Amino acid sequence: MKVHHFQALVLGALCLGAAVLAAVTYNHQQQLTALLVAAENAPADPVPALRRALDALGATVAALPEQVNALGEHQHQQDATFATLSKQLDEVSASLKAIEAVPLGPTKVDLAALEQRMGNAETAVHALEARAAAPSAQTQPAALAKPAAKAQAPTPPFKLLGIETRGDVRFVSALPAGAHALSTVHLLQPGDSLNDWQLKAIRRNQAVFQVPGLGERSLPLP
């Protein structure tokens, strides 16, 4: 009875040991499985990515001096362009000042007034021609009756047309005898001569001339 009891105890101990060993083995198997799963899900090694980022950053830093040189050259070109434009602007400003300093020519109003005066002079010339072409019967006897007076006071070798004013300067417009074109009209100032008749003075309604051998003679102004 004692032998059988001892064998049962030994068998029970072996069964218990086998159960404990199985439990421990199962537990180790579970831990190993968990470690394998954790190893598969672990993130990749960041060292290669960091190295690539550092290499890219190094390339960027290496390219910076060349970019700085290019920017400096571009700034130099812009400064040169600005200096050229500034010089051209100064030249244009100087040209404008020179243009402003040039005295202005006659205005449209002056030209219109001169054209009107020339038209009036042309009308007077035509009227003078008409009178010369058809002298009256009374004029001829009077001219024959006073030959001595004409010798002392000869007929002016021109026709006075009026007074021209340009600014503050006054002129006497005169048309030479026998001339008909407006281009032959002379503008006389005191001191100017036309056919040896020298203008001495311009008065309100008269022009005073110095006549060779006869002295001064006043002619009415139309």
Could you read off the pLDDT of 27-69 as tens digits, one per residue? 888 888 888 887 778 666 677 878 888 888 888 888 888 888 8
Give DSSP secondary structure letters for 44-91: PPSHHHHHHHHHHHHHHHHHHHHHHHHHHHHHHHHHHHHHHHHHHHHH
Q: Tell me, what DSSP letter sits at residue 155?
A: P
In whole angstroms, what is the distance from residue 168 CA to residue 128 CA? 30
Indicate the average pLDDT of the chain: 79
In whole angstroms, what is the distance from residue 91 CA to residue 175 CA? 49
**Mean pLDDT confidence for 126-141:** 58
Site of tokens 């960041």? 46
Q: Tell me, what DSSP letter sits at residue 95?
A: H
Amino acid at site 203 = R
CA distances from 164 to 1, 128, 150, 191, 214 (A): 173, 20, 29, 16, 27
- Residue 117: strand, helix, or coil: helix
In whole angstroms, what is the distance from residue 199 CA to residue 216 CA? 9
Asked whether the predicted pLDDT for residue 175 surpasses 80, the reply is: yes
Burial (CB count <10 Å: 0-12, 13-18, 19+), residue 124: middle
Helix boundaries (H) for the chain: 2-41, 47-101, 108-133, 139-145, 147-152
pLDDT of residue 31: 86
- Residue 169: strand, helix, or coil: strand
- Residue 8: strand, helix, or coil: helix
Amino acid at site 158 = F
In whole angstroms, what is the distance from residue 184 CA to residue 219 CA? 20
Asked whether the predicted pLDDT for residue 200 surpasses 90, the reply is: yes
**Backbone phi, psi, residue 105, to 5°:** -80, -175
Q: 221 or 130: whose pLDDT is higher?
A: 221
pLDDT of residue 34: 84
Q: Tell me, what DSSP letter sits at residue 167?
A: T
User: Hey, which of 2-6, 110-114, 168-172 has the most confident mean pLDDT?
Assistant: 168-172
Q: 92 or 59: whose pLDDT is higher?
A: 59
pLDDT of residue 150: 46
Chain segment 94-108, per-residue pLDDT in tens = 877 777 776 565 666
In whole angstroms, what is the distance from residue 171 CA to residue 119 CA? 17
Percent of the residues in the chain that have a pLDDT greater than 70, as a whole number: 73
Instruction: Name the pTM for this structure.
Output: 0.34
User: Is residue 132 very low, low, confident or very high in pLDDT (cuts 50, 70, 90)?
Assistant: low
pLDDT of residue 102: 62
- For the beta sheet containing 158-166, the strands, ordered from the edge strand earlier in sequence to the opposite edge, are 158-166, 169-176, 186-188
pLDDT of residue 188: 92
User: Is residue 148 very low, low, confident or very high in pLDDT (cuts 50, 70, 90)?
Assistant: very low
